[in-house]
Amino acid sequence: MDTKRFSYEGVACAVAGVLGIVGVLSAWWQVGDLTFDGTNVTSGMWAFSFAIATFAFGVAFVVMSDPAIRKISSILMAVSATLMTAAAVAGIGEAGDLAAGAEPGMGLWLTLVAGVIGMIGGYLGVRASMRPAAADEDTVATG
């Protein structure tokens, strides 16, 4: 791990991945008293896969110190978080296909928020990994 700077971007993506997993496994839709989790439909399975990927790439961004690996993992955590958000948006549209009168549940909204958090963390990670190493050393020395 880079000892000069802690990777909050990677931590944000790792937390977003965990929140996305919890969101998919909780109530995505509600029909009266019945609840359905996200694994009942394709968009939920995609969101689950991308939540795992967001978590994995966020952890890789925090743990790895090689600049090339951090650059690739930051791009991949931004992409996987974006696709998790897209899957959650698709899940909102699929509520009518699951059952008549189905409404989005709290888990679907949690997955959507987790995707947005992951997108922000991924964007900040890409921005941080594109900075030259000398700029980080100057920031540490003067700050």
Q: pTM (2 decimals)? A: 0.83
Can you give the residue range of the structural domain that contains 59? 8-142
The domain total for the chain is: 1
CATH number of 83's domain: 1.20.140.150
Token digits of residue 128: 């941080």
Residue 3 in any domain: the answer is no
Residue 1 in any domain: the answer is no
* Whole-number percent of the chain with pLDDT over 70: 87
Instruction: Write out pLDDT tens, residues 89-102.
Output: 998 887 767 777 77
Residue 13 in any domain: the answer is yes
- Compute the C-alpha angle 82/58/118, nearest 5°: 30
Residue 130 in any domain: the answer is yes
d(C-alpha 50, C-alpha 60), whole Å: 15
